[in-house]
Amino acid sequence: MKKKILLVLWFSLLLVAICALFWQNEFKYSLPTPIPKGYQEIAMGSKIDLKCCLADHRPVFIHFFNPDCPCSRFNIPHVSELIKKYGDRINFKIVVLNKQKSFTIEEIQKKFDANIPVYFDEGMAKNCGVFSTPQAVLLDDSQNLYYRGNYNKTRYCTNADSNYAQQAIESLLKQNHAPSFDALALRAYGCSLPKCTK
């Protein structure tokens, strides 16, 4: 009888540990990021005045990135692929949002295997209406907000049918009106700012 009780307790403890690991590493990042108090939404089509974009005369793609956020780390290959594919027609920029650690421009460029501008300016996130990472912002050539949202409905950017950021780029380059996306594209998921929390 004691063996059965110990076995049940052991399996119960194991199940709790597995559930806790699943929550910590996966499930909590599939829930929408809570909207911060005092958040001011920036409407699609709004003019976004960013000092770093004044000289840009083509569309600008801004990747909001926190190296400590698992979701940000998992989409590095996808963002790198976008930079390689569209870098000749769109100006890519990375905004690092992390107050806990210091990173150099070179470290970030190396992660993405791309020699593109890197900024450490939280004000850019606020100006674009971004409150979680990873998030994509696409501005048209007049610096109007064309898209702000997720890269994909899957954490690992593996579902080609829901490559939202890429679809927005394609639409903008074809000079179409901004595409309509479902809530999974536009509702922020991932790590909330300023810390990598949920």
Q: For the chain, which domains are there?
A: 51-192 (3.40.30.10)
Residues 6+ apart with CB under 8 A from 152: 75, 78, 158, 159, 162, 163, 164, 165
Q: Could you identify the residue written with the tokens 């209406």? A: 129
How do residues 66-107 score in pLDDT, each as one tens digit? 998 888 888 899 999 999 999 999 999 999 998 888 899 999
How do residues 116-168 score in pLDDT, each as one tens digit? 999 999 999 999 999 999 999 999 999 999 999 998 875 555 656 668 999 99
What's the start-to-end Cα distance of the chain, in Å? 43
Residues 6+ apart with CB under 8 A from 38: none
Length of the chain counted residue by residue: 198
